[in-house]
Amino acid sequence: MTVILYLLIVSLIFGACGLGIFLWSLRSGQFDDMDGAANRILYDKD
């Protein structure tokens, strides 16, 4: 049953990575302007 141990650890690492990325994006202000981000993609930056 040691395979469970490996799978558990791997899945937790994946999960923790996802959580870390989310917290990072939150800190870098990517959730500050949800409406703007949705619209900005439609316009060229010049």
Residue written as token pair 């558990």: 8
- Binding residues for other proteins, rule: CB under 8 A, are 1, 4-5, 8, 11-12, 15-16, 18-19, 22-23, 26, 31-36, 38-40, 42-43, 46
Give the nearest distance from C-beta 8 to other proteins in angstroms: 6
Task: Tell me the two tokens of residue 41.
Answer: 């993609």
Give the nearest distance from C-beta 40 to other proteins in angstroms: 7
Give the nearest distance from C-beta 14 to other proteins in angstroms: 10
- DSSP assignment of 8-36 equals HHHHHHHHHHHHHHHHHHHHTTTTS-HHH
